[in-house]
């Protein structure tokens, strides 16, 4: 079994920065595999051993982007002109969704996932609901769009949890609108039948999602939850992002979205609520007591003027936190991590709700767990060999003592400071350049321009 040694100038070992660490990685499986694991961790290694690959800077476990809609990347810039709300933004988003084919979806997503790798992201949770052709007819392979995402992740060298999303209605008791015909399988049973044809494979896990309580009728929620339960797969759901959604749920069911999900068996430790923004005290208690996760997406939540979710209270109640770049207003998990803390500072006018260590945990181990990759997100023997290196000598990061490298990375670094990304032991980003998508900027420009024309 071939072994590769990486020498880390500084390593984040969950609680502290350790100087001089040698990670031996065992590579096995197929040539294109992503299953390389950390075979040994040696500390006190002052210089790179002969033959080792030196990673200068701070190496942290790979970042998990727990909530992504890859095609929203095509909206960047466009949606910053003018005013409006989440609901007006959504109309622009639907316009792009109409133009995507399996081929253009692949090209765009490959470039977006390359951007993620360049930002230190080693796993993405793709909340995928663009299933069918415009008008709603299935492709000859009914999973052609999902397979395009899986192929894009493989090409870009990152792991994917395909959170195949049930999206059946436009509102409580309302049929899908014209733009939503691509999203719907008709019923949750038909959704389950289609998704069951998708298989886990190297670097790929298949999970489930409920788009929202707006988009899946209450009497079909349990079908999706059961599918995930049978496979022990992750289950994600957009939860209380908008107050209008809460009001409509109250009007239709006399309870909050969280209560409705609890009633239908959707909450639990494999479930993650995305946003969890407008919650009652009872909601927070339900999420926490069921160990349901919370995925915060602060750069999107602020971009869409959603509000600030009660992440502190949710975590205190028992909900593990993860982070996602969602609409990709920016793709920078370090920015998501600090934004969660800084939002809380603005709201409370006090500092220090989370340490840099706690924020990194959300961005790494807990994010991976939310995506069903419990064996990733830590630099330990036996873990998947997924890690990323942040420069400590850039204009943003130079200066602080090395023992403060985690605080520096979380509170001052950006995605532009990522020098290396390793996934399953493979060097996907080297010295700031993506190995298989060397001109990721051009790939993004070309794939987005193709959607405009």
Contacting residues toward Zn ion, per CB under 5 A: 326
Whole-number minimum distance, CB 236 to Zn ion, in Å?
A: 9
Give the nearest distance from C-beta 37 to Zn ion in angstroms. 31
Separation of alpha carbons 439 and 299, rounded Å: 25
> Nearest 5°: CA angle at 238, between 378 and 294?
35
Instruction: With H, G, I as helix, E, B as strand and everything else as coil, classify residue 407.
Output: helix
Q: Which of 326, 332, 386, 417 is catalytic?
A: 326
**C-beta closer to Zn ion: residue 88 or 282:** 88
Residue 393 per-residue DSSP state: S
- Burial class from Cβ neighbours inside 10 Å (0-12, 13-18, 19+) for residue 101 reads middle
- Compute the half-sphere exposure of residue 340: CA atoms within 13 Å on the CB side of its CA: 34
Least Cα distance to 207 among 227, 188, 184 occurs for: 227
Cβ at position 291, least distance to Zn ion in Å: 22
Reduced to 3 states (helix: H, G, I; strand: E, B; else coil), residue 267 is: coil
- Identify the active-site residue in 67, 69, 275, 420: 275
* 204 vs 329 by CB, closer to Zn ion: 329
| CB 245, min distance to Zn ion, A | 13
CA distance 371 to 46: 35
Handedness of CA 155, 158, 159, 162 (dihedral sign): negative
How far apart, in Å, are the Cα atoms of 207 and each of 6, 13, 106, 123, 146? 32, 29, 19, 14, 12
Q: Minimal CB distance to Zn ion: which residue?
A: 326
Closer Cβ to Zn ion, 126 or 326, answer by number: 326
Cβ proximity to Zn ion, 306 vs 326, nearer residue: 326
Cα 39 to its chain centre, rounded Å, is 27
Q: Quick check: is 420 catalytic? A: no
Give the integer Cα–Cα distance in Å for 266 and 238. Answer: 12
- Tell me the HSE value of 49 on the side-chain side, using a 13 A CA sphere: 15
Active site residue 275: yes
- Kindly tell me which of 154 and 329 has the beta carbon lying closer to Zn ion: 329
| Smallest separation, CB 217 to Zn ion (Å) | 20
Q: How far is the CB of 324 from Zn ion (least distance, A)?
A: 8
Of 147 and 326, CB closest to Zn ion: 326
Active site residues: 275, 326
């Amino acid at each position: 079994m071939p072994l590769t040694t990486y020498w880390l100038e500084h390593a984040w070992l969950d609680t502290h920065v350790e100087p001089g660490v040698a990670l031996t990685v065992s590579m096995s499986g197929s040539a294109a595999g992503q299953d390389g694991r950390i075979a040994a961790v040696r500390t006190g290694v002052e210089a790179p051993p002969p033959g080792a690959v030196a990673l200068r800077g701070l190496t942290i476990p790979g970042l998990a982007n727990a909530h992504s809609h890859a095609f929203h990347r095509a909206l960047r810039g466009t949606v910053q002109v003018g005013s409006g709300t989440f609901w007006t933004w959504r109309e622009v988003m639907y316009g792009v969704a109409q133009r995507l084919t399996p081929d253009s979806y692949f090209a765009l997503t490959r470039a977006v996932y390359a951007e993620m790798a360049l930002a230190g992201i080693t796993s993405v949770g793709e909340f995928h609901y663009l299933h069918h052709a415009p008008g709603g007819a299935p492709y000859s392979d009914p999973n052609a769009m999902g397979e395009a995402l899986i192929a894009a992740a493989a090409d870009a060298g990152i792991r994917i949890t395909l959170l195949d999303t049930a999206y059946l209605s436009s509102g409580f008791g309302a049929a899908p609108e014209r733009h939503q015909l691509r999203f719907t399988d008709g019923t949750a049973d038909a959704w389950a039948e289609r998704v069951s044809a998708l298989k886990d494979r190297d670097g790929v896990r298949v999970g489930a999602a409920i788009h929202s309580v707006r988009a899946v009728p209450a009497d079909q929620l349990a079908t999706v939850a059961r599918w995930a339960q049978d496979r022990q797969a992750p289950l994600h759901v957009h939860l209380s992002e908008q107050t209008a959604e809460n009001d409509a749920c109250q009007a239709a069911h006399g309870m909050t979205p969280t209560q409705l999900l609890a009633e239908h068996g959707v909450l639990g430790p494999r479930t993650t609520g995305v946003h969890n923004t407008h919650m009652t005290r009872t909601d927070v208690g339900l999420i926490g007591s069921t160990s349901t996760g919370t995925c915060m997406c602060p750069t999107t939540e602020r971009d869409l003027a959603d509000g600030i979710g009660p992440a502190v209270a949710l975590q205190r109640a028992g909900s593990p936190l993860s982070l996602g770049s969602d609409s990709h207003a920016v793709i920078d998990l370090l920015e998501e991590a600090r934004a969660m803390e800084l939002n809380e500072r603005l709201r409370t006018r006090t500092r220090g709700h989370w340490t840099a260590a706690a924020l990194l945990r959300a961005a790494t181990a807990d994010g991976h767990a939310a995506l069903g990759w419990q064996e990733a997100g830590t630099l330990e023997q036996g873990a998947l060999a997924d890690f990323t290196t942040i420069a400590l000598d850039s204009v943003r990061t130079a200066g602080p003592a090395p023992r403060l490298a985690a605080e520096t990375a979380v509170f001052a670094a950006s995605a532009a400071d990522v020098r290396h990304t390793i996934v399953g032991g493979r060097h996907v980003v080297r010295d700031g350049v993506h190995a298989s998508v060397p001109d990721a900027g051009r790939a993004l420009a070309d794939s987005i321009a193709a959607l405009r024309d």
